[in-house]
Amino acid sequence: MNNVRREVYFSGQVQGVGFRYTVMRLAANLDVTGFVRNMLDGRVQLIAEGSSGEIDRLLDGIRDAMGGYIRDGETIKASATGEFRGFGVR
């Protein structure tokens, strides 16, 4: 199965609400690698690599858990680079 990469920029009230740690907890139960981090402009950046299905499950979980804080999410799709060993908060 080919892995893919999704880079998602979440905007809204996504900093200071446990967003990154919620994403990390969700990712721990899935076969995905990458990271989540706060950005200086108030958005949160997620980079995830894995199968499309696993990334969809991660994004669905984020929407279920944190949807009330998310105003928008800009997604960039690319080929996986394989650069990550695990998933973490930066």
One-letter-per-residue 3-state SS of the chain: CCCEEEEEEEEECCCCCCHHHHHHHHHHCCCEEEEEEECCCCCEEEEEEECHHHHHHHHHHHHHHHHHHEEEEEEEEEECCCCCCCEEEC
Catalytic (active site) residue 20: yes
pLDDT at 15 over 70: yes
Residue 36 lies in a domain: yes
Q: Looking at residue 1, what is its pLDDT?
A: 59
% of the chain beyond a pLDDT of 70: 99
pLDDT bucket at 12, cuts 50 / 70 / 90: very high
Report the domain count for the chain.
Answer: 1
pLDDT at 81: 96
Q: What is the pTM of this model?
A: 0.95
In a domain, 89, yes or no: no
The string of pLDDT tens digits covering residues 27-57 is: 999 999 999 999 999 999 999 999 999 999 9
Catalytic residue (choose from 20, 25, 29, 63): 20
In a domain, 87, yes or no: no
23 in a structural domain: yes
Residue 19 lies in a domain: yes
90 is catalytic: no
Is 27 domain-assigned? Answer: yes
Q: What is the CATH number of the domain that holds 58?
A: 3.30.70.100
What residue numbers bound the domain in which 52 lies? 4-80
